[in-house]
Structure 1
Amino acid sequence: MNQDRQAIAFGLAAVALWSTVATAFKVALAFMTPLELMWIAALVSWALMGALVVKRGLLTQALSGWKTAAWAGLMNPVAYYLVLFAAYDRLPGQEAMALNYTWGLTMALLAVPILGQRLALKDLAAGCVAYAGVWVIATRGQVLNVNFEDPLGVALALASTLIWALYWLLNTRDAREPLVGQWQNFSVGLPILTVLLLLGPGFTWHGPAALGAGVYVGLFEMGIAFIFWQLAVHRVSRTAKVTNLIFLSPPVSLLLLHVVVGEPLMMSTFIGLALILIGLGCQQLIRHNKA
């Protein structure tokens, strides 16, 4: 029971940090391009994880596994975060955040062709409920109107869920220690991001507030939150005890976006997010019953 309490504490800490990142994304992107933000955040996260790898004596494990890191690093951090930040750059934070929450359902659908898992009618029903929420958000409540306010932004947000789901599904065959694997991925991704930055917009000094926002994203969203979540998952007696904590994040994210960024809270976001969370909740219940 002590271990479960510790696991829940770590899980709550991770969720608390993830609840702030939508706001941090919007604050940072008000100053800089998605590529600049990505580079700063990736550099900070790579340095943090590298220091932890050394401190925990895992450097010898990092001598192998680079073939996996070659493709995994292209997916995370490069492709996933660039697409995600581009979505946040185009959409209100509340919409990008809510749409990104469908990655769990995307993963369940993709597990059928990739892992050979079966999809029950209940799974499909849960997916339909959640994606009805996506439609409400994408149309901003005008559900019979197919003229989206920002179709590219919506497409980018949904593409980020596809990349993230694919990454975790392919990761099921990854034998690397999670912290080592994440550091190796960033070791591959950071040089690519550096080249893209130099060939593209270059890096411009936007002031200490912009730098602070970028450092915050790298330190907490990509770094410390990941470590807390890994500790929670590895210590808990039953995974559902911590995975259900993720449902606490969206309401807090919406509140912070309203208070800090000043985004007006749209009724379509509340309705769409409620449908997405109901779909995810049903999916969790289905998994629990199967187990």
Structure 2
Amino acid sequence: MTTDSETRPGLTGGVAAAALMAVGSMTLVQLGAALAKPTLESFGPLGTTWLRLAWAAVLLVLITRPRILSYSWSQWRGAILLGAAMAGMTLCYFQAVNRIPLGLATAIEFLGPLGVAALGMRRAWHALWPVLALAGVVLLVHDGSAWTVDPVGAGFALAAGLGWAIYILLMKRVGQAFDGLQGLTMSIAVAAVVATPWGLAESGGHIPPAVLGITIGLAILVPLLPYALEMMALRRMPTRAFGILMSAEPALGTLIGFAVLGQALSPAQLAGIALVVVASLGAVAGE
């Protein structure tokens, strides 16, 4: 991740390219989640996520050919921590997507990045943004008398948000510590190892050949391409600008969930997503 001053010399071309990378990453994450829905339901979210991470790790190792023996302990520590965060975030996110609509899962998960932004707030009135986001989440999951979504699914989305927050904090360190995409390669390899016990427990070790083929394509959609695009984008644009762009992801998830899966939301839930997006924009813009 670069600082504003490091990004400024290549502002015109570099930031424009980075913005396209960020938008591309968001789109691929949401599209990949929507297209994975049938596999999540038939093979299970833990087994599907494990195979996606494993295939992504294999493909990245073949592409980047990491110099494993040359890495320092500091580099390994960053990759291990980031990989563990990636595994937790991804496993929990797809558990949530398997239980609640895509747009809702993404909006609740977005509380993680919003929390990171809130930690750096210096003015008292900035506390408005977390409160606004919390009000949005209440509209998403409760109508005043009963839960409108599976509370377990909402809990998984919150856990994914915690993983996303840790991922954001660690991505800068790992991106700076390694050349090219080698840090991403090692982190996803660690994530695949962490996810293996969960995937094997759910699948019982039985993996239909068709699922193997499907998960290769799903691995390219998520996590391989989005994580690579995010790492490259963060090297080319200010963190604040990246955060503002990513604030649109809950709305994008809602649109793709409706277009691909036919997941229509109530007016109150749409209002809740709007509040989360506004809160995220306000928090990042106020940094």
TM-score by length of 1: 0.81
Percentage identity across paired residues of the two chains: 22
Alpha-carbon distance, 1:173 to partner: 5.0
Off by >6 Å, runs of 4+ in structure 1: none
- Pairing 1:205-216 to 2, within 5 Å after superposition: 205=207, 208=210, 210-211=211-212, 213-216=214-217
Residue in 2 that maps onto 1:32 = 43
- Residue of structure 1 in register with 2:220 after alignment: 219
Secondary structure of the structure 2 residue equivalent to 1:91? coil
Deviation (angstroms), 1:69: 3.2
Following superposition of structure 1 onto structure 2, how do residues 83-122 of structure 1 map, counting pairs within 5 Å?
83-109=92-118, 111=119, 117=120, 119-122=122-125
CA distance in 2, matches of 1:106, 1:242: 16
TM-score normalized with structure 2 length: 0.82
Q: Name the SS for the 1:264 alignment partner.
A: coil
Summarize deviations over 1:229-252 as a string: whole Å, max 9, x none: 22222223x444444332444334
Aligned to 1:279: 279
Write the deviation string for residues 225-282 of structure 1: whole angstroms up to 9, x where unpaired. 222222222223x444444332444334323222322223332321110000010111
Conserved? CA contact 2:103–2:252, under 8 Å: no
Equivalent pairs, count: 272
Structure 2 equivalent of residue 124 of structure 1: 127
Alignment gaps of 5+ in structure 1: 112-116
Q: Indicate conservation of the 8 Å contact 2:100/2:149, yes or no.
A: no
1:232 is aligned to 233
CA pair 170-63 structure 1, distance change in 2 beyond 3 A: closer
User: Structure 2 CA distance, aligned partners of 1:254 and 1:206?
Assistant: 31
Q: What is the one-letter code of the residue matched to 1:257?
A: G
Residue segments in structure 2 that go unaligned for 5+ positions in a row: 1-11
Q: Distance in 2 between matches of 1:34 and 1:243?
A: 28
Deviations, residues 63-104 of structure 1 (Å, cap 9, x unaligned): 332233333322222x22112121122212222122112221
Q: Which moved more, 1:220-229 or 1:194-203?
A: 194-203
Q: Secondary structure at the match of 1:219?
A: helix
Distance 1:170 1:43, change over 3 A: closer
Query: What corresponds to 1:114 in structure 2?
Result: none
For the 8 Å contact 2:53–2:192, the answer to whether it is kept is yes
- The one-letter code of the counterpart of 1:251 is A
Q: Tell me by how many angstroms 1:28 deviates.
A: 2.6
Letter in 1 for 2:117: A
1:168 matched to which residue of 2? Answer: 168
With 196-205 and 147-156 compared, the bigger mean Cα shift is at 196-205
What is the distance in 1 between the residues matched to 2:58 and 2:166? 26
Matched, 1:154 2:154: yes
Q: Pairwise CA RMSD of aligned residues? A: 2.7
Instruction: Pick closer, same or farther for the CA change 1:8–1:84 going to 2, 3 Å.
Output: closer
What is the match of residue 141 of structure 2? 138
- Residues 1:75 and 2:85 aligned together: yes
Question: Is the 1:127–1:279 Cα contact (8 Å) retained in structure 2?
Answer: yes
Q: Is the 8 A contact 1:44 1:218 kept in 2?
A: yes
Give the residue type in structure 1 aligned to 2:112. Answer: W
How many Å apart are 1:152 and its aligned residue? Answer: 1.5
Could you tell me whether the CA contact under 8 Å between 1:19 and 1:250 is conserved in 2?
no
